[in-house]
Amino acid sequence: MNLDFSQNHFELFGLPVGFEVDAGALADSYRALQAQLHPDRFATADDKQRRLSVQGASWVNEAYQTLKDPMRRARYLLELRGVTFNDESETSSDPGFLMEQMELREALGEVREAADPMAALDEVGDRILALDRALTDGFEQAYAGDDLMAAKDAVLKMKFFRRLREEVERLEAELEDELA
Amino acid sequence: MALLQISEPGMSTAPHEHRLAAGIDLGTTNSLVATVRSGVAETLPDADGRHILPSVVRYQAEGEPVVGHAARDAAASDPLNTIASIKRLMGRGQGDLKTVAGHVPYEFAETDSAVPRLRTAAGDVTPIEVSAEILRSLRARAEASLGDELAGVVITVPAYFDDAQRQATKDAAKLAGLNVFRLLNEPTAAAVAYGLDQGGEGVIAVYDLGGGTFDISILRLNKGVFEVLATGGDSALGGDDFDQAVAEWILEQSGIGEVDDHRQMRRLMRAACAAKEALTDAERTTVRVERVDGSDWEGELTRGTFKALVEPLVKKTLSACRRALRDAGVSKDEVENVVMVGGSTRVPVVRERVGEFFGREPLVDIDPDKVVAIGAALQADILAGNKPDEETLLLDVIPLSLGLETMGGLVEKIVPRNTTIPVARAQDFTTFKDGQTAMSVHVVQGERETVEHCRSLARFALRGFPAMVAGAARIRVTFQVDADGLLSVTAEETLSQVRASVEVKPSYGLTDNEIETMLTDSFSHAQDDMLARRLREQQVEADRVIEALDAALAADGERLLDDAERAAILAAREVLVETRAGEDSDAIKAAIGRVEKASEAFVARRMNQSIQQAMAGHKLEEFE
């Protein structure tokens, strides 16, 4: 088979370019590609073929991970439109948003002192999920309306929520272990 | 951009050509080899009909190393030359030995190489060479049984094995002359053995309770694609702990109390293990042990009592299951199949509690000692191209995050754990100082934020890019992980295109050169003048035995031996000193044997004592 590295990730999986992705179609297409490309299919082939297969399978894996994850997918869409991200220095500068983040962090910090820590954690977790969902909707609208600056700001904000969600999961694990 | 051309799978394979392939379960305690014949996967027995090969290698001054049952039987009489549990040292560097030394009874040689070497009668050996002996023995068994050379093998490794441990396993296979199609995760192999890859979709839990380790893995199967979602476990929990619990019960019930004699302890552990095994089928069993004064104690152990004794241990495994499920992000009722692996899952209470925990009957039809090897054999058969219509694809993930050291000893993760492999990922870095023309790249593996808490895999330097102001250079570091989980790293300054790359091996694996040297060494050895060598080796061995004995007597002779025992040992020593001066290698060998026999009890007591000292205040996890 031929693998065209100049294709973008959506083209690779035969999907329309856009934030909305059919998860089932993506997974099916991914498996079909891996079934052809994976190094296990070339276990008895020569070194060159095996090397090519590793490259191809790696590329398909990376593309799949990118499209599967909403935040990475959003960022990739913007990169296709020529938006660049500078990871070290860039962050959202919306003061209201940053204030909200601080409040959420404080609320998380106080979960342990609550009478029912699990319930308190669930409550903060739900708030975080709702805000994160609203942010995703905001990205979709901005992207559809070609407001790339607003869309980029939404992606930068998504990063904050990702860290908060990780924090929630970690805390949940700790609490469960203590209660078990 | 250029088009990548890849032929259809199987195209390079001539039709109807059947390639011989085998699956190898290279275990900590036992190893097995299996193959597919007439469509059926089965483990292969040795000439005596035994399927299990104890993962024990005994090195002797003369002749080839002994592998398996014979080596294991010699463990008590020749502990320093009999290497067991080598898997625990695979992929470990010199630095790791500080935590292991004193807990394995081996002597380590001083060496400049990154790879530790164990001192034996046959010279210094690396863990990779020891594993290669086990693999060589399994290879010989398979080739004798199949009548021709193996085209390739699948070797299983624990899902949590890091890059260095996987690399070491591959190096051992290379040294044993084996072509490795693929390293396969043990839990995935077990699931394949049950044919779970054939049917539909769902979450699978693999519960693996061996002699000394416990592993739990959560896999997801989706249209023939296996994904490892999470792994967990306890590297110091296994069936041996069950025996220990029963032994303690016997001591308490019989009023024996403390046991300080090594041999009696072994008898006690054997009785405990036998009782445990008897309770697999029976509701109650009689336990008989000898007290120190020679009188017998007899008691009855019921399944109920046994259950209570091991309950805390089983509970520990279930907590690990709970954690693994959480890491995997799935709930208990999503688990559709529970696969049991490891001899200790024969214990009924284990099956019962695991069944209760997951709310479904665990799969136990395939011999839990053989299930991993059988799965590996099935996969080897597919990879050899013998089943061209096979659609199953086993996608593995990396168990630990891979990253780079950045300023201040912090870790920047490049490939997070549980990423599907193979994978390539690049990240750009820049310079810290004006005029900087070189950058050092330190590759680490682990989940922690700081470098000292992660495993160091490799260091290399990118040199000779043009001087620029700080922050202007663009250094792209690319991580490539192949389907076996092995890493190579490339760094390139993208403006000037200066490149440097490294196969991540040198830190803990052996370099290709070292492997070449070992291979040529083993050839040239065979061409030596056998007789002269045998005599020289026996003399060296005699010197070693005398020296070791003298040191032991000086240290513990007074305390651990009575006058008669000491006299017997000294007499045997005297004979050895005399024969050593002569030129009869067989006589020297016999004399060595007599010294070893005479001091057997002494050696056992000393071992027992040093193990007790070493274990005091330590937990085994520290040595993993």
Contact B7 A3 (CB under 8 A): no
Indicate if B356 belongs to the active site: no
List all residues 6 or more positions away from B333 whose beta carbon is below 8 Å from its beta carbon. B359
Looking at residue A66, its pLDDT comes to 94
Predicted confidence band of residue B246 (pLDDT cuts 50, 70, 90):
very high
**Cα separation, A88 vs B623, whole angstroms:** 38
Task: Give B219-232 pLDDT, tens digit per residue.
Answer: 988 766 777 888 88
Predicted confidence band of residue B136 (pLDDT cuts 50, 70, 90):
very high
**Cα separation, A48 vs B168, whole angstroms:** 24
- Single-letter amino acid, residue A118: M
Top pLDDT among A103 and B533 is at A103
Indicate if B565 belongs to the active site: no
Top pLDDT among A145 and B526 is at A145
Q: Could you tell me which of B403, B402, B397, B401 has the C-alpha nearest to residue B418? A: B397
Indicate if B87 belongs to the active site: yes
Q: How far apart are the CA of A98 and the nearest CA of chain B, in angstroms?
A: 24
What chain A residue is nearest to B326 in terms of C-alpha separation? A173
Looking at residue B13, its pLDDT comes to 44
Task: Give A22-81 pLDDT, tens digit per residue.
Answer: 998 998 899 889 888 898 888 888 888 888 899 899 999 999 999 999 999 999 999 999
Q: Which domains does chain A have, with CATH numbers?
A: 9-68 (1.10.287.110), 95-179 (1.20.1280.20)
Average pLDDT, chain B: 82
What chain A residue is nearest to B487 in terms of C-alpha separation? A54
Indicate if B162 belongs to the active site: no
**Residues in chain A whose beta carbon is closer than 8 A to a beta carbon of chain B?**
1-6, 27-28, 31, 34-46, 49, 52-59, 61-62, 64-65, 172-173, 176-177, 180
Residue of A60, A61, A67, A85 for testing the chain B interface, max B β-carbons within 10 Å: A61
Looking at residue B310, its pLDDT comes to 94
Given B25, B133, B243, B369, which residue is catalytic?
B25
- How much of chain B exceeds pLDDT 90, in percent? 34
State which H helix or E strand residue B207 sits in: strand B202-209
**Cα separation, A67 vs A61, whole angstroms:** 10
Task: Give B45-55 pLDDT, tens digit per residue.
Answer: 999 999 999 99
Using a CB-CB distance cutoff of 8 angstroms, which residues of chain B are in contact with residue A177? 319, 323
**Cα separation, B214 vs B316, whole angstroms:** 10
Task: Give B192-203 pLDDT, tens digit per residue.
Answer: 999 887 766 789
Q: Is B403 left (phi over 0), alpha (psi -120 to 50) or beta?
A: beta
Residue B548 has pLDDT above 60, yes or no: yes
**How many residues are present in chain B?**
624
List all residues 6 or more positions away from B570 whose beta carbon is below 8 Å from its beta carbon. none
Q: How far apart are the CA of B97 and the nearest CA of chain A, in angstroms?
A: 32
Q: Could you tell me which of B451, A54, B433 has the C-alpha nearest to residue B441? A: B451
B186-193 vs B371-383: helix axis angle to the nearest 10?
A: 90
Residue B614 has pLDDT above 80, yes or no: no
Contact B181 A177 (CB under 8 A): no
What chain B residue is nearest to A178 in terms of C-alpha separation? B319
Looking at residue B621, its pLDDT comes to 35
Task: Give B288-344 pLDDT, tens digit per residue.
Answer: 888 777 788 899 999 999 999 999 999 999 988 998 898 888 999 999 999 999 999
Can you say how many angstroms the Cα of residue B76 is from the centroid of all Cα atoms in its chain?
Answer: 21
Distances (CA, A) of B261 to A73, B173, B615: 66, 40, 17
- Tell if the pTM clears 0.80, that is, is over it: no
Residue B17 has pLDDT above 80, yes or no: no
- Facing B1 at nearest CB: one of A5, A46, A172: A5
Using a CB-CB distance cutoff of 8 angstroms, which residues of chain A are in contact with residue B13? 44
- Facing A44 at nearest CB: one of B326, B385, B420: B385
Q: How many CA atoms lie within 13 A of B565 on its CB side?
A: 16
Average pLDDT over residues A99-118: 89
**Cα separation, B491 vs B498, whole angstroms:** 8
**Residues in chain B whose beta carbon is closer than 8 A to a beta carbon of chain A?**
1-10, 12-13, 19, 151-152, 181-182, 222-225, 319, 322-323, 326, 382-385, 391, 393-395, 419-425, 480-483
User: Could you tell me the two tokens for A53?
Assistant: 């297969």
Residue of B197, B420, B447 for testing the chain A interface, max A β-carbons within 10 Å: B420
Q: Give the angle B484-B489-B495 at the CA atoms, nearest 5°.
A: 145
Residue of A4, A30, A54 for testing the chain B interface, max B β-carbons within 10 Å: A54
B163-175 vs B127-146: helix axis angle to the nearest 10?
A: 50
Contact B424 A58 (CB under 8 A): yes
Chain A, chain B: beta-carbon pairs less than 8 Å apart: 114
Task: Give B83-93 pLDDT, tens digit per residue.
Answer: 888 888 888 87
Beta bridge partners of B420: B397
Q: Is the peptide bond before B422 cis (omega within 30 degrees of 0)?
A: yes
Q: Could you tell me which of B86, B89, B91 has the C-alpha nearest to residue B165? A: B91
Average pLDDT over residues B564-569: 88
Average pLDDT over residues B347-376: 95
User: Could you tell me the two tokens for A175?
Assistant: 């609490």
**Cα separation, B587 vs B542, whole angstroms:** 11
- Facing B152 at nearest CB: one of A43, A55, A173: A43
Looking at residue B296, its pLDDT comes to 85
Looking at residue B501, its pLDDT comes to 66
Given B133, B197, B208, B369, which residue is catalytic?
B208
Residues B197/B332, Cβ–Cβ less than 8 Å: no
Looking at residue B507, its pLDDT comes to 39
Looking at residue B10, its pLDDT comes to 44
Contact B4 A173 (CB under 8 A): no
Contact B326 A3 (CB under 8 A): no
Looking at residue B515, its pLDDT comes to 47
User: Could you tell me the two tokens for B222?
Assistant: 């989706």
Match 């592998």 to its residue by tokens: B67
- How much of chain B exceeds pLDDT 70, in percent? 85
Given B46, B129, B133, B186, which residue is catalytic?
B186
**Cα separation, B528 vs B562, whole angstroms:** 45
**Cα separation, B150 vs B23, whole angstroms:** 11
Looking at residue B122, its pLDDT comes to 87
Weakest mean pLDDT among B60-74, B253-267, B336-350, B526-540: B526-540
Residue A5 has pLDDT above 50, yes or no: yes
- ipTM field: 0.82
